[in-house]
A and B are shown apart, each in its own frame.
Chain A
């Protein structure tokens, strides 16, 4: 909780906060004058001085105008405090999402950031209002009769302090309720999208239990929140009603001390019109907005709290790839995806990786590109582990094109030169020709045309991504099923372009035909692996024969066209 409060206070340490405080002074005036004006007006009316009474009331309206000017400035300054805070949160969420890849960040960007923005503004306003009211009432009461202030203010503050203590009790329960609410939405979403499957497996009771648990948890959390609300009512009794009763109880004595009827009524007016609403609002705001602010901001800060590990800067030499006893598992209890793999890919080689889907081909690609770290064993790229290279150096050494091609809103050219921003027109043209993206670029309206990612088919997206990779300065190219949505002819042309580009080419094959174009083939099978040329593998690897078997021309099965190898 302290972290969230610190964050909030830090946002207040800015010039607009001072201005906000300064403009609060004219805004206080009506509040401060209220009881005084009522007291003097009543006394004037009682004394038969009608115009004097009216004049006091007119004074009240006049201060209200001053107060309006103050309110206008206060809101504007509040905006200047809140908007930078929102900007900072958006920055954090975006940076965090790009770091962790957490897709929930998009929801966070809109919903949670807005919750924090609104609750923060509300809190600043309400708490400031509370302070202003208290200050104004105190000033007013002191000017009327200090005795009245002595009876009113202490119980009021006591009630407020008690409600702050209750807040601590409420925090955990509000958190539980919000959590149950989210779990309910997640569970209901899963179950409702699977009604067909639930029916088919006869698991209706199981599904009801999955959603039923958060329903009951939420109900329990809400029930325990009712007890907190009851405590809050008692705090209000102390802070809001006790001053009133004390004032009435001591009334005869006060009048005996020379306090006027108007002053007594003024005191009551202060309690009823100023203090009670202020206490009510601040208790509500702290209990609701305050907790929502702390919890939601906490979520955002948690999700964006990550450490960028410092990368030791080693220098690499060339782009030869050496794997020695490489083992990788996704968790300490999980079976390894790759076990004890030895492999050397010399500069300029063309290697294909084949195997059933889910066997670890993409994991291997990620390891080679330095995006995962081996669980044990060594992987050297140009003589050093990729994790010891700077990101820039790494990007200059290897380029990875994943299955899901990245296209962003921008011009075709911007998308193509993404990895080589200062590419010349000739280089771009040559890349487009080599990969075979000319027709696509024409269809899109040339290099300067704007791209809308949603308008492209998966195959077209891949063609753009391939052209981009072709332009990259990196000598080592890793195609991770980067051609799976292309038709076999386009795929062949693209792969041949990369083979002729110079440098090393590693193809995670989607179709077995990709393997036939490679010089060497790595067959992954369980956590065993076999390496060799097409000819040797035909003799030594049963899995390779099996994969290839479905693809022999002339085979009747072959009517399914070229089969996916992954």
Chain B
């Protein structure tokens, strides 16, 4: 059993003993009840010891009900609190692992781990308890059946083989048919998706009804496949109806003969019938084992997330300074691949620095290093003389802002996607005005309070919000191709704001545009992970290879 699985089980240790006791008690009651009932009836007939057996039966039933109640509460408490604990830890681990730690994971996959796998994993403790407790009634009833009379057990096994046969045939047939059904469903969904992407055209042309007919043309096929699934169910349902009573009848017939022979009482015959039914519950065990397997898979999937190391931050704060950015012998190597090699740069505080180069040159890697979105394999990056890795998280993020080509906005409203400190609306507004995000946010139905999910935005609009989000940085602004989707007029206005920045922040701008490079104080020209040259745009422009970068 894996360490993760054990950790999840340990988490529920307060509840598990209670769960175990009630589950075993419940199983015991289920086993004892047929005998107690049979004996009660025997006692009624023989007029001997009725009071004792009736009291025992009533007691057993009461215990069974109490056990069920306790199990409901402790079982839920255990699973719910373990689920929430796992989920909080998973979320925390993911957001603190940084972009580097989570690169291997797909977003949808991570969501599944938190939403459904965590629930499966949380069943670990109860699943073990259930697995043990679930074996007791069927195994015990077979034992008791054999104890009443060995022939009864033999009759039981004859019946059980038939049931297994039916289940096997059923499982095979449905798999094929439901596949065809799902394929048709997928095709209908595909056509609908297609139509939804062209909805403006369709609505304008008034061809909604025609589209509806086109998509629904597949419906009869779906109907046909759907009916087939029912036909398979019908066959297996019929088989089950025949096979179901066979186990019971076999046991009762053999038991009846024993009764005639005087080897068992009428009450024992009744008990034997009940044990045959309980014993047939052996099929239910597969469900319990499945639960256990899911719990193990779920905890393994949680463990894979926990195995990712979170980003470690230092404790230092930054001394006063202009925002001088230093790359000291920095290399980034992933596996065999060298993304950046021996970068040594000393960028003066308050300067506008453009980073240019062909795609794959390492521009975004350089930007990510400056914003400490990843750490170098060798060397270090310093801001005003302090290595970024030594700075504490709050100070670091207040000092450095980073905007991206494709920003992912996080928040409940458009306003808190710009600034998650809900307190400073003034700052949010200032940042939104500076980056021209205010122009379109103010036209949303609820302005800054519009729910993020209800505000569909174009690439350029998202970029403006991304810029606004990074704007309050105190020392260094990193823009990684962050204005590429803006129209020229807006881009011009934002660059003007950037150039005339009265906060005198250092600006590191990854760009493809000559105009941006031309306005920068310094240009870093990257090629194949190396700094090919640094200088002003005018100086570098003399080199034909440099001009080709913008070609």
Query: Do B44 and A255 touch across chains, with their CB atoms under 8 A apart?
Result: yes
Stretch at the interface among B135-143, B193-201, B337-345: B193-201
Whether the pair B238, A69 counts as a contact (CB closer than 8 A) is: yes
Q: Give CA–CA (A453, B257) in the complex, Å.
A: 74
List, in ascending order, chain A residues with CB within 8 A of B185's CB.
Answer: 109-110, 114
Q: Cβ of B424 < 8 Å from any Cβ of A?
A: no
A window 417-438: CB within 8 A of B: 418-419
- Are B404 and A196 in contact, CB atoms less than 8 angstroms apart? yes
Task: Report how far A48 CA is from B115 CA in the complex, Å.
Answer: 63
Which listed segment binds A: B5-13, B319-327, B377-385, B408-416?
B408-416
Distance in angstroms between the alpha carbons of A169 and B238 in the assembled complex: 37
Q: How far is the CB of B228 from chain A (nearest CB, A)?
A: 9
The contact string, 1 if C-beta is below 8 Å from chain B, for chain A 38-60, is 10011011101110011001001
Would you call A207 and B515 a contact (CB within 8 A)?
no
Q: In the complex the two chains form, is B461's CB within 8 Å of A357's CB?
A: yes
A208 CA / B89 CA spacing, docked (Å): 10
Contact assessment for B489 and A546 in the assembled complex, using a CB-CB cutoff below 8 Å: yes
Q: In this assembly, does A14 line the interface, its C-beta being within 8 Å of a C-beta of chain B?
A: no
A192 touches B223 (CB 8 A): no
Q: What are the interface flags for B453-465 relative to A under an 8 Å C-beta threshold, 1 for contact and 0 otherwise? A: 1000010110000
Cβ-defined contact, A252 with B50, below 8 A: yes
Q: Is A279 an interface residue (CB 8 A)?
A: no
Taking the nearest CB of chain B, how far is it from the CB of A337, in angstroms? 5
Q: Produce 1/0 per residue, A269-307, CB < 8 A to B.
A: 100110000000000000000000000000000000000
| Residue from B45, B83, B115 in contact with A185 in the complex, judged by beta carbons closer than 8 Å | B115
A172 within 8 Å of B by Cβ?
Answer: no
| B-side contacts of A84, CB under 8 Å | 223
A10: Cβ under 8 A from any B Cβ: no
Complex partner residue of B114 from A67, A184, A336, CB under 8 angstroms: A184
In the complex, what distance in Å separates the CA atom of A185 from the CA atom of B87? 11
Let me know if A373 is at the binding interface, CB within 8 A: no
Q: Which interface residue of B231, B266, B267, B371 has the most chain A CB atoms within 10 A?
A: B266
Closest to A408 in B: B194
B446 touching A333, Cβ below 8 Å:
yes
Check if A215 sits within 8 Å of B266, measured CB to CB: no
Q: How large is the interface on B (under 10, 10 to 19, 20 to 34, 35 or more residues)?
A: 35 or more
> Closest approach, in angstroms, between the C-beta of A196 and any C-beta of chain B?
4
| A404 sits at the interface (CB 8 A) | yes
Q: Is there a chain A Cβ closer than 8 Å to B514's Cβ? A: yes
Scoring A residues 87 to 110 as 1 if CB is less than 8 Å from chain B, else 0, what string do you get? 100110011011101010110011
A197 within 8 Å of B (CB atoms): yes
**Contact, CB under 8 Å: B410 / A190:** yes
Contacts of B79 in A (CB 8 A): 222
Among the 9-residue stretches B14-22, B245-253, B283-291, the one with 4 or more Cβ atoms under 8 Å from chain A is B245-253
| Residues of chain A with a CB closer than 8 A to B188's CB | 90, 94, 109
Collect the chain B residues with CB atoms within 8 Å of residue A181's CB.
Answer: 115
When the two chains form their complex, are residues B266 and A408 in contact, meaning their CB atoms are under 8 A apart?
Answer: no
Known: A188-B115, A201-B397, A546-B489. A76 touches B230 (CB 8 A): yes
**Which residues of B191-215 are within 8 A (CB) of A?**
191-208, 211-212, 214-215
Scan B57-84; emit 1 where CB is below 8 A from any A CB, else 0.
1100100110011001100110111011
Size of chain A's interface in residues, with CB distance under 8 A? 156
Binds B, one of A314-322, A528-536, A557-565: A557-565
- CA separation between A419 and B80, bound complex, in Å? 56
Of all chain B residues, which has the CB nearest A181?
A: B115
Task: Kindly state whether residue A351 has any CB partner on chain B within 8 Å.
Answer: no
Across the interface, do B256 and A192 meet the contact criterion of CB distance under 8 Å?
no
Q: Is the Cβ of B266 less than 8 Å from the Cβ of A192?
A: no
Also in contact, A230 and B73, with CB within 8 A (given A208-B91, A334-B444, A399-B204): yes
Q: Name the A residues within 8 Å of B430 (CB-CB).
A: none
Prevailing SS type, chain B contact patch: helix
User: Are A105's CB and B489's CB within 8 A?
Assistant: no
Residues of B within 8 Å of A98, CB to CB, are 195-196, 199, 202, 208, 211-212
- Asked if residues B266 and A262 are in contact (CB atoms below 8 Å), the reply is yes
CB contacts under 8 Å to B, within A445-469, are: 453, 465
Instruction: Kindly list chain A residues whose C-beta atoms are within 8 Å of the C-beta of B446.
Output: 331, 333-334
Q: Is the CB of B238 within 8 A of A358?
A: no
Tell whether A179 is near chain B: CB-to-CB under 8 Å: no
Whose C-beta in chain B lies nearest to the C-beta of A241?
B61
Select the stretch in B102-110, B124-132, B295-303, B346-354 that faces chain A. B102-110
B550 at the interface (CB under 8 A from A): yes
Min distance, Cβ B220 to any Cβ of chain A, angstroms: 9
Contact indicator B57/A334 (Cβ below 8 Å): no
Q: A106-B192, A265-B266 are in contact. Are A201 and B470 (CB under 8 A)?
A: yes
B389 interface hit (Cβ, 8 Å): no
User: Which residues from chain A contact B238 at a C-beta distance below 8 Å?
Assistant: 68-69, 71-72, 75
Contacts of A264 in B (CB 8 A): 41, 44
Q: Which A residues touch B312, using CB under 8 A?
A: none
B189–A110 contact, CB under 8 A? yes
Contact A216 B41 (CB under 8 A): no
Q: Is B487 an interface residue (CB 8 A)?
A: yes
B530: CB under 8 A from chain A? no
B241 to A64, Cβ gap below 8 A?
A: yes
A506 at the interface (CB under 8 A from B): no
Q: At the interface with chain A, which of B92-100, B145-153, B501-509?
A: B92-100
Q: A336 to chain B: which residues have CB within 8 Å?
A: 443
Question: Considering only CB atoms, which chain A residue lies closest to B64 in the complex?
Answer: A241
Given contacts A264-B44, A453-B194, contact A79 B84 (CB under 8 A): no
Q: Does B402 count as interface, using CB distance less than 8 angstroms?
A: yes
Q: Apart from A83-B230, A333-B445, A369-B204, list 16 A-B contacts with CB within 8 A.
A: A41-B256, A57-B249, A61-B245, A76-B234, A98-B199, A195-B95, A208-B95, A222-B79, A229-B76, A233-B72, A245-B58, A261-B266, A357-B461, A407-B198, A543-B489, A560-B550
24 contacts across the A-B interface (CB closer than 8 A): A30-B241, A34-B245, A50-B256, A68-B238, A87-B219, A90-B216, A91-B216, A95-B208, A188-B111, A188-B114, A195-B94, A204-B393, A208-B92, A226-B80, A233-B69, A237-B65, A248-B58, A334-B447, A358-B440, A394-B206, A395-B205, A419-B205, A557-B515, A565-B488
**When A and B form their complex, which 10 residue pairs have the shortest distance between CB atoms, in order from nearest?**
A406-B198, A202-B397, A79-B230, A331-B445, A391-B206, A75-B234, A194-B408, A226-B76, A196-B99, A206-B420
